[in-house]
Amino acid sequence: MISINLDGTFLGTKYAIGTMKAPSEPGSIFNISSKSSMVGQPTTAAYCASKGGVTSLTKAAAMYCAHEKLPIRVNSVHPGTCVTPLVKTYYDSQPPEVLQA
């Protein structure tokens, strides 16, 4: 979970900033976090931790770009749950009291 959600975002942000430094035109980086980065869930601790890391990484990268006077904005978006087949399988496997939390 950490490798995909956080390490991948870190590397993408790192190399995007490196590539975007050269041009003088402004640019933007958008990282995909989750509402779970701000509100923990009892059964998805690793997911919440990885997305919390994405949110903090994004803030740090934005501050880095500002400090270096780079014309690069770095933001994250925090969508809610999308009921995909994988999420539905998870929901179906949980007792009702877990899903009410």
SS3 string, the chain, reads CHHHHHHHHHHHHHHHHHHHCCCCCCEEEEEECCHHHCCCCCCCHHHHHHHHHHHHHHHHHHHHHHHCCCCEEEEEECCCCCCCHHHHHHHHHCCHHHHCC
Given the residues 15, 47, 64, 90, select the one marked as catalytic. Answer: 47
Phi-psi region of 99 (alpha: psi -120 to 50; beta: other; left: phi over 0): alpha
Tell me if residue 90 is catalytic: no
Active site amino acids: 47
